[in-house]
A and B are shown apart, each in its own frame.
Chain A
Amino acid sequence: MDPIAAVASQQQPPLRPPAHQVSRRAVLWWRLRSLLALLVVVLPQVAVLVAFGADSPGWLTYTAVGSAVLIGLYALLVPPLLFRIHRWEITTEAVYTLSGWLVREWRIAPISRVQTVDTERGPLQQLLKLANLTVTTASARGPVKISGLDEQTATELARTLTETTQATPGDAT
């Protein structure tokens, strides 16, 4: 094989991407979450700056502006990227997800080994009608998580998955 083709074939992802994307509202959810982080990180710094005025340490201005810019950039650029990357699929054999921004993570859990299926929604997610779906297997490192699903899709998925697992005998180890 010629070296260029070899490099090109190496850069292929190991598996095809899962079929479905998460809800489009997830972008907004990720943005709002990073804005919350902005509040938590930057607000105390600003509070100190305002309260102590000229007495506050000089570097605080820089860290406050720096963290605000970094988190702002993250909120602007990363959520659309996450939306493009995050995908899920439930085949006849397995639950299959792809997630991660800096570190891509493909996860596959056989449906026959699924033990529990949970959905959860935080306050922000309730507002946006989103939900997380967590599928656990017998392994301590097993849980497969799909975040930012449409609320109804998540409920529906949890129901069908639970039905399938209950039909499987054994304790799935």
Chain B
Amino acid sequence: MSTPVQLATPVETPWRRLDPRMLVIGPINGLVQVLPVAAVLLVTGQGDVARLWITGVIAGLVVVGKMLTWQTTRYRITPERVELHSGWLNRQRRSVPRDRIRTVDLTARLLHRVFGLSVVQVSAGAGTGSEHSGLSLDAVSKAEAERLRRELLERAAVAAPDPGTGAVGPPVQELARLHWSWLRLAPLTFSSLAGMAAIGGTAFNLIDELGVDPRDIGPVDEATDRLVSAPIWVGILIIAGLLLLVSVVGALVLFAERWFGYRLTREPGADGASTLRVKRGLLTRRSLSVAEDRLRGAEIVEPLLLRVGRGAQCRALSTGLTKDAQGGALQPPVPRQEAHRVASAALRADPAEITRARLRPHPRQALLRRLTRALVPTAAVVAIAFWLGWLVPELDWLGPTSLVLVPLALLVALDRYRNLGHQLTAEHLVSRQGSLVRRTVALQKHGVIGWTIRQSIFQRRAGLVTLEAVTAAGQGGYQVLDLAAGDAAALADATTPHLLP
């Protein structure tokens, strides 16, 4: 009931609803989610009427529920906050202060794209309670999503909308776009392999859940028979070859799905604060935006396989990145040169000032520490292997085989030492470490909000410490491993003058 008093208050921002097309998409998505249950009910039921009814009721409930969700969800953007009210029995009210918004990401899965919709994920920086996690609007029209993204990222005072500039749009600078030659690096990333395993596992599960034994399928059964009758090493070779083939093809497919239409752009904002934007995706379109004044540095990540293929990936160190931002990846796996170029373009700094800086090597004692840390656990494993071989005669091959680990551990230790390094450039603290995954981090000096120096008793005897630059961005802290105790204090002091006691 409205009263004159309420009318007298300043005009409130009206509440808005999600796009009405969600009345179709929501139920469809919900039905897809219950599809496995329904399938199991129907397949195992063999036409049992009760099961048909149950399935129908579940489907009906899902449809009504999703429609109610749309009916009860409202959002609005006031000058200070973004607010989202949702739920019917279990009411939720979420609200994020606009000055805490770090990133606004748009995601459009296939169905959303068909209907021209997009999910808006607003994430806030470190804070307390619900303000921490941000909120997501699922979903609004593409145009509305784009408008929200711009409005929320431009934290300048709300200027009067100017129809002239609004129509033209600010000039957008392109920093990088997809080269299909990068596809050759796709099979070298572990995430692709893991992704393939996941897909394979899901497929097998699905087949299993439908009550089909893969061996009941004719060709599979014949192939299994032939494999079993062949010598064991032939079988192993064939299976390994098949796995390799499947994962390579899978990696290529995944790469194409994730990075199709990839573009990295810089969009100047109204208040001079520009935004880095990554757009990508074949079936699911994604747009990740990082406000440039939230950027605290960049990281070049090189997993071993990718490093062997002379590839790398650049990630942004930004405050308040969402979890599915893939750690702030600014690009797919690319040739190393390209990764450093994008880091330099994103940070507006010469590569020699950031990730390509000449690094200072770490003291000899650090090599000794890498060696002991790699070889002692390996020795333990070898000892256990020999002991098991001695206990169980059938396992006597275990000990000698495990000796292979020793040279491998040695190589990793040497590589880890070779990769250790740090440097302080004009604006950045650069540090590198790791062998299986080599990471080169360039962190802006003003992004350092504290220090942690750690020294174990072994490090104390070697005169080494591990220095960690604490920051609000990325993982929250970046280490410089095993540097001389005196150098650590000097480095920290040079990075943040007057801070150290």
Contacts and interface: CB of A to CB of B under 8 A. Distances in A.
Contacts of A13: 455, 485
A142 B99 contact: no
B219 interface: no
A171 interface: yes
Given A15-B501, A18-B501, A91-B501, A105 B452 contact: yes
Given A137-B472, A139-B449, A142-B450, A16 B477 contact: no
Most B CB within 10 A of own CB, among A96, A100, A113, A138 = A138
Interface stretch (B73-81, B199-207, B222-230, B456-464): B456-464
Contacts of A24: none
B477 A104 contact: no
B192 interface: no
A12 interface: yes
A16 B501 contact: yes
Given A110-B499, A139-B471, A102 B449 contact: no
Given A14-B455, A137-B470, A172-B449, A89 B485 contact: no
Given A14-B489, A104-B454, A173 B449 contact: yes
B63 interface: no
Nearest to B99: A171
Interface string A86-106: 000101011010001011111
Interface string B478-497: 00000011101100100010
A78 to B, nearest CB: 14
Contacts of A142: 449-450, 470, 476-477
A4 interface: no
Given A10-B485, A138-B126, A142-B470, A109 B449 contact: yes
Contacts of B477: 139-142
B258 to A, nearest CB: 26
Contacts of A139: 126, 449-450, 470-472, 476-477
Nearest to B100: A171
A109 B126 contact: no
A100 B452 CA distance: 12
Nearest to A103: B456
A9 B486 CA distance: 8
B476 A171 contact: no
Q: How large is the interface on A (under 10, 10 to 19, 20 to 34, 35 or more residues)?
A: 35 or more
B434 to A, nearest CB: 18
B39 to A, nearest CB: 42
A141 B485 contact: no
B496 A110 contact: yes
Given A12-B485, A14-B465, A14-B485, A105 B125 contact: no
Contacts of A115: 126
B449 A137 contact: yes
A27 B294 CA distance: 44
Contacts of A121: none
B463 A94 contact: no
B332 to A, nearest CB: 27
A116 to B, nearest CB: 8
Most A CB within 10 A of own CB, among B449, B451, B472, B498 = B449
A82 B169 CA distance: 62
A104 B451 CA distance: 14
Most B CB within 10 A of own CB, among A102, A107, A108 = A108
A11 interface: yes
Given A10-B484, A14-B488, A138-B472, A171 B125 contact: yes
A141 B452 contact: yes
B476 A141 contact: yes
Interface string A137-172: 111111010000000000000000000000000011
A7 interface: yes
A75 B488 CA distance: 34
Nearest to B320: A173
Most A CB within 10 A of own CB, among B456, B489, B501 = B501
Contacts of A91: 501
A91 B100 CA distance: 29
Interface majority SS (helix, strand, loop, mixed), chain B: mixed
Most A CB within 10 A of own CB, among B126, B461, B476, B485 = B126
B188 to A, nearest CB: 30
A144 B468 CA distance: 13
B61 interface: no
Contacts of A89: 501
Contacts of A173: 125-126, 294, 319, 449, 472-473
Nearest to B447: A173
A137 B471 CA distance: 9
B35 interface: no
A139 to B, nearest CB: 4
A138 B449 contact: yes
Contact of B450 (A14, A15, A102, A113): A113
A106 B485 CA distance: 12
B234 interface: no
Given A10-B484, A139-B471, A140-B126, A108 B499 contact: yes
B452 to A, nearest CB: 5
Interface in A6-64: 7, 9-16, 18
Contacts of A109: 449-450, 470
Interface string B138-158: 000000000000000000000
B500 interface: yes
B453 interface: yes
B337 interface: no
B500 A104 contact: no
B463 A11 contact: yes
Most A CB within 10 A of own CB, among B128, B319, B470, B477 = B470
Contacts of A110: 449-450, 496, 499
6 contacts: A89-B501, A103-B455, A106-B452, A137-B449, A138-B449, A139-B470
Given A12-B485, A15-B453, A110-B496, 11 more contacts: A103-B457, A105-B453, A107-B452, A113-B450, A116-B128, A139-B126, A139-B450, A139-B471, A139-B472, A171-B99, A173-B319
Nearest first, the 3 closest Cβ-Cβ pairs linking A and B are A10-B463, A140-B476, A138-B472
